[in-house]
Amino acid sequence: MYLEIPKKFKGLVQQAADVADYYFRPISRKYDKEEHAYPKELDTLAALLDGMNDGAPEAAGASSASKGMSQESSTKIRNGSNLSTCLGIMELCRGDVGLLLAMPRQGLGNAAIAAVANEAQLARFKGSWAAMAITEPGCGSDSAAIRTTARLDGDHYVLNGEKIYVTSGSRADSVVVWATLDRELGKAAIKSFVVPHGTPGMTVTRLEKKLGIKASDTAAISFSDCRIPRENLLGNPEIDIKKGFAGVMETFDNTRPLVAAMAIGVAKAALDRSRELLAPVLGSGYAVPPLQLSHMEHTLYRMESEWEAARLLTLKAAWMADNRMPNSKEASMAKAKAGRCANDITLQCVELCSTAGYSEDELLEKWARDSKILDIFEGTQQIQLLIIARRLLGKSSSELR
């Protein structure tokens, strides 16, 4: 296995690293303290990213994370846009996870559109900034329990319901909303709909105050007889009982590796900064026999090995998506491993660095706060382990709950 970064992506990775070091980190603390204030600096960065992606076969944005590929390349092994996006996110999140989530036209809803939209919809929503709305007051990890409804009325769907914890919910141009066409048919009737901001009946009811990622707005949105064109239903409008929930769940196969990549980035930032702060009391390097290591060195080495395992799982899940391989199990494995590692690593780095880790003079304490959400959204740790068990054992959701 060749595990180095593909040569064609090295320039992109270096650009992302420079953005993290010289663009995100200098404003990171400012927007952590000014929660809900939009980072105006991101407009310039978003325009730059648009220019990088325009016409590029291997783009770096969330809207490029798709399992689709051209006919002539469908038989070839390739390193594509899912892998490049994950590599870019890993570097950007060494700077600031919240600022990445606040970047225009790079919302998780863009990855959802890329995952399930048809060609006409991909063209129509190109350049739009899309948030993703799944969670409801009575429905968290169990996405199949969604109560928001979509009723066909002539040439429009009418949406009714409430969504909470919508990342970029108030700033994005549109929101990808999960809703059911028929509650009696269960999860097979759940579809995703693109609802542009400003549509009558769609209201942002509040912005949440959060533990971390404060540069990113997190909204609650209600839908009351909200009418959208029937063409805004992503993918196939038919209800397929046999396929069940698989259609919209393909979204997670694309977005979970992206969230895992965020976790890899913030954990790497904490590890690197801890090594810098602890350099005066660390040994000479990795050549020291394990039994001669101090507790501090042993802890750092163990965290680095866990980080590397999570990184490789994430790259594998993204690579499988690029090559149109079923990657549901691998996407959940990457998300579970990386999300938990990021939590453990950032908190232990705070502990190892003592007062420097706990003080706002360093970004370590902020990275620890930011990392927690990465173990929660896009499916909690417990849900990921349940999905992995189902895939390994060949059980359905009704057989293994």
Per-residue model confidence (pLDDT) at position 71: 41
- Shared fold status for 130-232 and 246-393: no
Contact 207, 142 (CB under 8 A): no
Other CB atoms within a 10 A radius of the CB of residue 326 amount to 13
Topology adopted by domain 246-393? Butyryl-CoA Dehydrogenase, subunit A; domain 3 (1.20.140)
* pLDDT by 10s per residue, the chain, length 401: 578 899 999 999 999 999 999 999 999 999 999 999 999 999 988 877 776 565 455 555 666 666 554 444 456 788 988 999 999 999 999 999 999 999 998 888 998 898 889 999 999 998 899 999 999 998 877 777 899 999 999 999 999 999 999 999 999 999 999 999 998 888 889 999 999 999 999 999 999 999 999 999 999 999 999 999 999 999 888 887 666 566 667 789 989 999 999 999 999 999 999 999 999 998 777 888 888 889 999 999 999 999 999 999 999 999 999 999 999 999 999 999 999 999 999 999 999 999 999 999 999 999 999 999 999 999 999 999 999 999 999 998 889 98
CB neighbours of 238 closer than 8 A, spacing ≥ 6?
Answer: none
- Is the CATH code 1.10.540 the one for domain 7-124? yes
Residue 167 to residue 131: CA distance in whole angstroms = 6
Instruction: Determine which helix (DSSP H) or strand (DSSP E) holds 249, and give its type and residue range.
Output: helix 246-278
Residue 207 to residue 125: CA distance in whole angstroms = 25
Identify the three-state secondary structure at position 228. strand
Contact 205, 137 (CB under 8 A): no
Identify any residues that bridge with 202 across adjacent strands, giving them in sequence order.
223
> Which DSSP state fits 233?
B
Residue 346 to residue 142: CA distance in whole angstroms = 28
394: left (phi over 0), alpha (psi -120 to 50) or beta: left
Per-residue model confidence (pLDDT) at position 127: 87
Per-residue model confidence (pLDDT) at position 396: 87
Identify the three-state secondary structure at position 141. coil
Per-residue model confidence (pLDDT) at position 52: 58
Pairing, β 174-180 against β 190-196: antiparallel
Helices (H), 284-394: 295-322, 328-352, 354-358, 364-371, 381-393
Contact 24, 89 (CB under 8 A): no
The DSSP result for 60-79, as a single string, is -SGGG--S---TTTTTS---
Phi and psi, residue 277, nearest 5°: -70, -30
Contact 235, 191 (CB under 8 A): yes
Contact 60, 235 (CB under 8 A): no
Per-residue model confidence (pLDDT) at position 265: 98
Helices (H), 71-186: 81-92, 97-101, 108-116, 119-124
Joined together, the tokens standing for residue 380 give 């909690």
Q: Which residues are catalytic?
A: 378
Q: Which of 224, 151, 137 is CA-nearest to residue 182?
A: 151
- Is the CATH code 3.90.79.10 the one for domain 130-232? no
Q: Enumerate the domain spans of the chain.
A: 7-124, 130-232, 246-393
Dihedral of CA atoms 64, 70, 75, 78 in degrees, nearest 10, equals -30
Residue 79 to residue 133: CA distance in whole angstroms = 30
